[in-house]
Structure 1
Amino acid sequence: MTALSVRNLTKSFGGRPVVRDVSFDLNAGEVLGLVGESGSGKSTIARCVARLTKPDSGQIRLGDADLLGASRRGLRTLRRDVQMVFQDPYSSLNPRMTAGALIEEGLLVHGIERDRRARRERAVALLETVGLSAPDAVRHPRSFSGGQRQRIAIARALAVEPKVLICDEVVSSLDVSVQAQVLDLFLDLRERLDLSILFIAHDLAVVHYLCDRVAVLDQGRLVEIGARKQIYGDPVHPYTRSLLAAVPVPDPAAERARQAAS
């Protein structure tokens, strides 16, 4: 079953093509990695899918619903089903709001829960889901670490029970040890909530750990897409091979062997 379908997506800025005729599917319950160098169009695709940026042309469907052709009222409903977690947990959270209020906001905006006490209980439950605790609900973002702030951002996105979660470089600003904790959280949430996740990253090691399939972008074009094992073990496109060749190998002997074989 397809959770998200993107067809012939195109977007330019100032006459410069950024996304060029991109098509892919995100299956239900799948984590699809979108990789490429900086400027390859990854974040623009994410913003188009989340309807934060309007594409020049193409089609985006969420199940049977047309995201681009939806009315204003229809789009409000569909936006609940597609939520986004941004790269910087320091700027994506309103510093004046408590963690609990940040999570409750979506419930109120989308009319999911009008009862104040029920919203608070839901916020606490979500904080616990992402590895935080009930007392954290009354704390402000400044009192949390970067990894904890990203967990709050994830809880906020999950509050409205989306069908698709878009993660745009969500661990790139975190320490390696914290990265691992957040990635494990995504794996756990995918299993528990049956989430479909579009995971955007430039770190191929992170994508290999988390994603079921991988789509490779080069200068706005989708050059290769396939199962993780195929992309990492037997890439077809020269650009994919060059990306993988640039990944550091911690074992010097293995790195010398790889260079000798190339």
Structure 2
Amino acid sequence: MTAVSGVSALSVRNLVKSFGGRPVVKGVSFDLAPGEVLGLVGESGSGKSTVARCVARLTKPDSGEIKLGGRDVLGASRRELRTLRRDMQMVFQDPYSSLNPRMTAGALIEEGLLVHGIEPDRRKRRDRAAALLETVGLSAADADRHPRSFSGGQRQRIAIARALAVEPKVLICDEVVSSLDVSVQAQVLNLFRDLRERLDLSILFIAHDLAVVHYLCDRVAVLDQGSLVEIGPCGEIYRRPTHPYTRSLLDAVPVPDPAAERARQAV
């Protein structure tokens, strides 16, 4: 999918956020289509994680509009927000700190089912947790293990399973592979590609690595010092970036295809 059409899964308009009087997000606007993966890229400090936290309403923006499937996120009541948060889940960068070390993998996944009143039956919750662990490439037997006994990549898979438990329509992924080894990154990225196809998820994928975004995403939005400077189909921007900042990001990305490299240098 390379274009947004019809009702957006997620719509962000003129998002603004400052900290201590310093503008961090400056009028950012974008749409995420149903079933689309949109990459939001930029260097450290560009504001991309702040955008993600504002979209998830973990951080309150100064102004702007956020709609999830046409529903107002910023103006939602506490009761409405509970439903919205079921439909929009977030996976964080650090799998070591985002999981409660005192809970088993199964309990971590079951928690969302219980909080949102999706499955009151304990046995069915356990079965659902076991199935989700298998969905993300782990074993049902892993449900009784604690986070400390898993590798970083496995912990991130548990975090993904926990987010998927409530069957969200939109998944926000904030630098979810940046702390993982390259080989593990590839496994997690392939998992996202598979989940997107199987579950028809819309994914906002925040990253600083354009090679990762090119591999996974349909479109890419480039954030520079809080401003959205370029957005478009991933392949098109990768081959023919129009903004100097985008070109500077791409200069650091190795291109294995000589023809693609020659085309990029010709721009």
Shorter-chain TM range is: over 0.9
| In structure 2, C-alpha distance between the alignment counterparts of 1:117 and 1:83, rounded to whole Å | 24
Q: Structure 1 stretches of 5 or more lacking a match?
A: none
> For 1:119-153, what per-residue CA distance to the aligned partner results, in whole angstroms no more than 9, with x for missing partners?
00000010000001111000000000000000000
CA RMSD of aligned residues (A): 1.8
What is the CA-CA distance between 1:250 and the residue it aligns to?
Answer: 7.1
What is the CA-CA distance between 1:246 and the residue it aligns to?
Answer: 2.2
**Which residue of the partner structure matches residue 189 of structure 2?**
183
| In structure 2, C-alpha distance between the alignment counterparts of 1:161 and 1:258, rounded to whole Å | 41
1:152-231 matched pairs, under 5 angstroms: 152-231=158-237
> For 1:193-248, what per-residue CA distance to the aligned partner results, in whole angstroms no more than 9, with x for missing partners?
00000000001110000000000000000000000111101111111111111224
> For 1:147-184, what per-residue CA distance to the aligned partner results, in whole angstroms no more than 9, with x for missing partners?
00000000000000001000000000111111100000
After TM superposition, which residue ranges in structure 1, 4 or more long, deviate above 6 angstroms?
A: 256-262
| In structure 2, C-alpha distance between the alignment counterparts of 1:149 and 1:29, rounded to whole Å | 25
Quick check: 1:113 aligned with 2:119?
yes
**Which residue of the partner structure matches residue 96 of structure 1?**
102
**Which residue of the partner structure matches residue 246 of structure 1?**
252
Matched residue count:
260
| In structure 2, C-alpha distance between the alignment counterparts of 1:45 and 1:75, rounded to whole Å | 18
**Which residue of the partner structure matches residue 11 of structure 2?**
5
| In structure 2, C-alpha distance between the alignment counterparts of 1:176 and 1:35, rounded to whole Å | 18
Partner SS, residue 9 of structure 2: strand
Call closer, same or farther: CA 1:200–1:260 in 2, change over 3 Å: closer
Provide TM-score, normalisation by structure 2.
0.94
**Which residue of the partner structure matches residue 77 of structure 1?**
83
Counterpart AA for 1:61: K
What is the CA-CA distance between 1:64 and the residue it aligns to?
Answer: 1.6
Fraction of identical pairs, as percent: 85
| In structure 2, C-alpha distance between the alignment counterparts of 1:250 and 1:145, rounded to whole Å | 30
**Which residue of the partner structure matches residue 86 of structure 1?**
92
Provide TM-score, normalisation by structure 1.
0.95
| In structure 1, C-alpha distance between the alignment counterparts of 2:229 and 2:266, rounded to whole Å | 24
What is the CA-CA distance between 1:258 and the residue it aligns to?
Answer: 9.5
Call closer, same or farther: CA 1:135–1:259 in 2, change over 3 Å: closer
Q: Structure 2 stretches of 5 or more lacking a match?
A: 1-5
